[in-house]
Amino acid sequence: MKAIIMLSILCSLCWTAVDAQILKPVKWSYAAKKTSATEATIYIKATMEQGWHIYSLDTPEEGPVRTAIAFTPDHSYQLTGALLQPQPLSKMEQQFGKEVKYFEKTVIFQQKIKLQQNTATVKGDITFMVCSDRQCLPPGNIQFSVDIK
């Protein structure tokens, strides 16, 4: 019995050590604000840990994976205009041998929508690549959902 308990403790310690090594240097958050009875703005915020960055929406395709935000079509809303981003930073990145556009610390993407109903749930997917001066992580893909009331 003591051997089983000891084995369980060792396994849980090993799992904790493996889990602690998984890098997740980007945190995503989402919000919506009604700007009128029929319009709203969706805010998608990325917060990067110190030393990490993600790439802009308009990074050239031949380089790193650009950030892409795809909204799931729904009858309760309609996208209005293009997805907006602030002015990105730009630098020559040796890993890719080209000039890239990127964001550090935080970035907020904005999408205006026209509401077809009083309430809506806006869903979608975010694809992104996060890099530091030492390494790039494989491209990530996360889903989001924002309620508009």
Reading the chain (149 residues) residue by residue, the pLDDT tens digits are 454 444 444 444 444 444 446 889 999 999 999 999 999 999 999 999 999 999 999 998 888 999 999 999 999 999 999 999 999 999 988 878 889 999 999 999 999 999 999 999 999 999 999 999 899 999 999 999 999 99
Sheet with 53-55, edge to edge strand ranges: 89-93, 98-104, 53-55, 130-131
Taking phi over 0 as left and psi of -120 to 50 as alpha, with beta for the rest, 97 belongs to left
* Contacts of residue 96, Cβ cutoff 8 Å, sequence gap at least 6: 63, 64
pLDDT in tens, 10-43: 444 444 444 446 889 999 999 999 999 999 999 9
Domains located in the chain, CATH noted: 25-148 (2.60.40.1250)
pTM above 0.75, yes or no: yes
Rounded Cα–Cα distance for residues 54 and 27 (Å): 11
Rounded Cα–Cα distance for residues 140 and 19 (Å): 17
